[in-house]
């Protein structure tokens, strides 16, 4: 039985004739009924706001794992100032990209799910080595990880906090330090991804393709023209786009020892103009 899986945190894009729809890791996991991992490792995206939102949704909604490891090449994913809003968020008067001090915010979300006495926990670890060369893969076992927490400053309210970046994280030489967020489900929690579990509040892939397996969704060429994720990139030349498939580097002998390239930058610098 499979107990450890590592996946890209990049969204999966469904291309229709006139529009596209993105599904994040939390949404895609809902297709995997029966999933019951000891550990799910997600290698985050290069876009800070999307990475923060993706982890937030994994903690709040996803199942199928007893322990979640979320890795980010940058400290900026919990230190950014909001740069753009989602149109749907604006319509309903919310903003899912507004940060709060972590891991306290995620801890509260997890305890709401599993119970405050369950032992559920969220811990952030931060590398002591700035990851400066985005054109080379990063070796995940070459740094020292130290625990990291954020807090409101004295006399600071949450609105003030969300309206500013975290200066200590976003400084040169600091924002380049990798982060690892470890999320552990509570004692006695049934974390298996269930067949027929309730739909997510927004954007449940099962609602778009009711009753279909992943294989059947991929075969739905009459509905979806193309499905792409991190392994598919587009190289433009005079408005003509060609599809290219890029194999990710994934070389390891132990679950905690692996090479993780910063594909969001590494791929385009290495591959696009060969």
Q: What is the pLDDT of residues 99-142, one digit of tens each?
A: 999 999 999 999 999 999 999 999 999 988 887 555 454 555 56
pLDDT attached to residue 228: 66
Provide the percentage of residues in the chain whose pLDDT is more than 70. 72
Residues 172-195 pLDDT 10s: 999 989 899 999 999 999 999 998
pLDDT confidence of residue 80: 93
Q: Give the start-to-end residue ranges of the domains of the chain.
A: 4-271
SS3 content of the chain, % helix, strand, coil (to 5): 25, 25, 50
Name the more confident of 255 and 262.
Answer: 255
Residues in the chain: 274
Q: What is the pLDDT of residue 229?
A: 67
- Judged against a pLDDT cut of 70, whether residue 79 lies above it is answered with yes
pLDDT of residue 220: 73
Task: Judge whether residue 17 has pLDDT over 50.
Answer: yes
Give the residue from 235, 237, 205 showing the smallest Cα distance to 220. 205
pTM: 0.83
Which is it for strands 37-43 and 4-8: parallel, antiparallel or unpaired? parallel
User: What is the per-residue pLDDT across 194-219, written as a single tens digit (0 to 9) for each?
Assistant: 988 999 887 888 988 888 888 888 77
User: How far is 117 from 186, CA to CA, in rounded Å?
Assistant: 8
Which two three-digit tokens encode residue 274?
């060969």
Place of tokens 């509260």: 108
User: What are the pLDDT digits (tens) for 34-43?
Assistant: 999 999 999 8
pLDDT value, residue 271: 35
What is the rounded average pLDDT of the residues 221-244?
51
d(CA 131, CA 242): 31
51: Cβ–Cβ under 8 A, 6 or more apart, which residues? 9, 44, 45, 72, 77
- pLDDT for res 102: 97
The 8-class DSSP code of residue 5 comes to E
Between residues 144 and 250, the one the model is more confident about: 144
CA gap 95, 84 in Å, rounded? 10
Average pLDDT over residues 141-149: 81
Confidence of residue 25 (pLDDT cuts 50, 70, 90): very high
| Predicted local distance difference test score (pLDDT) of residue 45 | 84
Question: Which residue has 């945190």 as its token pair?
Answer: 9
Q: Report the run of H or E that residue 234 belongs to, with start and end.
A: strand 232-237
Specify the residue for token string 């972590």.
Answer: 102
Q: Which two tokens stand for residue 212?
A: 């279909």
């Amino acid at each position: 039985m499979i107990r450890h899986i590592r996946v890209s945190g990049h969204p999966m894009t469904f291309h229709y004739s006139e529009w596209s729809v993105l599904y994040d890791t939390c949404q895609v996991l809902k297709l995997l009924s029966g999933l019951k991992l000891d550990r799910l490792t997600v290698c985050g995206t290069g876009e800070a706001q999307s990475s923060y939102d993706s982890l937030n949704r994994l903690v709040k909604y996803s199942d199928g794992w007893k322990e979640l490891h979320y890795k980010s090449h940058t400290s900026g994913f919990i230190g950014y100032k909001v740069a753009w809003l989602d149109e749907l968020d604006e319509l309903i008067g919310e903003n899912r990209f507004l940060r709060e001090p972590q891991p306290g915010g995620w801890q509260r979300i997890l305890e709401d799910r599993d119970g405050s006495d369950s032992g559920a926990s969220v811990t952030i670890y931060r590398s002591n080595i700035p990851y400066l060369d985005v054109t080379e893969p990063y070796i995940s076992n070459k740094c020292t990880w130290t625990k990291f927490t954020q807090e409101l400053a004295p006399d600071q309210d949450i609105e003030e906090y969300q309206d500013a970046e975290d200066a200590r994280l976003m400084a040169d030489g600091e924002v380049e330090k990798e982060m690892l967020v470890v999320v552990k489900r509570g004692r006695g929690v049934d974390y298996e991804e269930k067949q027929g579990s309730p739909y997510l509040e927004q954007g449940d892939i099962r609602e778009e393709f009711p009753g279909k397996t992943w294989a059947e969704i991929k075969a739905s060429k009459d509905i979806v023209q193309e499905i792409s994720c991190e392994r598919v990139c587009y190289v433009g030349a005079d408005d003509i786009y060609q599809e290219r498939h890029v194999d990710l580097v994934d070389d390891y002998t132990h679950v905690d020892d692996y090479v993780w390239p910063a594909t969001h930058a590494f791929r385009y610098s290495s591959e696009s103009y060969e």
